[in-house]
Amino acid sequence: MTLSTMTKVLHSIIALSMISLIAVGIFMHETKAYELYPIHKSFGVLVFLFASYRVVVRLKEGWPTPVGKTPAVQLIAAKLVHWALLIATVLYPVTGMMMSGAGGHGIPFFGLELVASNYDDDGKAVAFSHTIASLGHDIHGSLTRVLIAIIVLHVMGALKHHFVDKDETNARMFSFKNSRSRLNRGRLK
Ligand code: HEM
Ligand code: HEM
């Protein structure tokens, strides 16, 4: 089974963005680098759009079938990890938007104002909904270690395919040769 160009392009864009946003998110949170918040939020919203489309593609077309013979336990582990990653790519931006939007901090999108901020005269954010904002904040902050652990597991799995099994799993996900004609079909073949 080959993978559609859409599957490969979405995987690369979302994977790179997620890794960058996690790094920037932790950095800006730890160092209180408030100037980075708008760019983190803007790229986060962009990931939400790509990731939502990818969920639709996955539900419609199904998952890539494994390359070669893989032990059942490894197949189950890979499927669980893929589901967790797919959910995280939607959950993270959604909880970020809950935290910032409902918290009165606003959601910018590359210069546009998707949700206006709500500051009082002292410059303090006034939440539209404390419940939604704090639920978003709790999930967005507390799941980071779990997410990083899952990504590490996923990358270790990819490395195992490449160096131990020496199969085509990585090649078919990262090779973009001769795939221009499949771009508009947007589905697994
Ligand atoms: C540099 C790091 C990464 C490498 C080398 C990598 C590699 C791969 C490979 C080879 C597959 C295909 C597996 C198969 O055919 O069974 C895959 C699938 C997948 N990867 Fe990654 N990946 C990376 C990072 C990420 C990240 C950061 C995420 C999300 C946070 C992610 C989410 C997924 C998902 C959801 C799938 C299932 C297929 C799909 O929906 O595209 N990957 N990855
Ligand atoms: C794929 C999308 C996203 C990822 C992977 C991500 C990841 C992260 C991470 C890892 C942190 C650090 C959390 C901590 O250490 O407590 C963070 C902080 C933050 N994120 Fe995101 N984020 C994403 C999208 C968004 C979006 C869409 C928004 C808002 C519209 C947002 C708003 C924030 C804010 C305001 C903080 C700082 C929280 C604080 O300082 O307490 N994020 N993000």
Q: Please, what is the average pLDDT of the chain? A: 92
Q: How big is the CA angle at 21 (ends 94 and 188), to the nearest 5 degrees?
A: 70
Contacts of 152 (CB under 8 A, 6+ apart): none
pLDDT at 181 over 90: no
> The whole model's pTM is what?
0.93
pLDDT in tens, 1-26: 789 899 999 999 999 999 999 999 99
Between CA 50 and CA 53 the distance in angstroms is 5
| Portion of the chain with pLDDT greater than 70, in percent | 93
pLDDT at 96 over 70: yes
Q: Where are the alpha helices (DSSP H) in the chain?
A: 5-31, 37-61, 72-102, 130-142, 144-160, 169-174
| pLDDT on residue 143 | 95
CA of 186 to the centre of ligand 2 (A): 30
Q: Counting every residue, how long is the chain?
A: 189
Domain ranges of the chain: 5-182
pLDDT at 183 over 60: no
Closest ligand to the CA of 31: 2
Cβ–ligand 1 contact at 155 (below 6 Å): yes
| pLDDT on residue 173 | 96
Q: Ligand 2, closest atom to CA 105? A: 35
Q: Give residue 149's pLDDT band: very low, low, confident or very high (50, 70, 90).
A: very high
Q: Could you tell me if 178 and 189 are in contact, meaning their C-beta atoms sit under 8 angstroms apart?
A: no
The two three-digit tokens of residue 104, written as one number? 């009165």
What secondary structure letter does DSSP report for 68?
S
For range 75-89, the mean pLDDT: 96
pLDDT at 178 over 90: no
Cβ–ligand 1 contact at 18 (below 6 Å): yes
| pLDDT on residue 179 | 54
Cβ–ligand 2 contact at 104 (below 6 Å): no
20-53 burial code (b ≥16 CB/10 A, e <16): ebbebbeebeeeeeeeebeebbbbbbbbbeebee
Q: Give residue 68's pLDDT band: very low, low, confident or very high (50, 70, 90).
A: confident
Biggest alpha carbon distance in the chain? 64
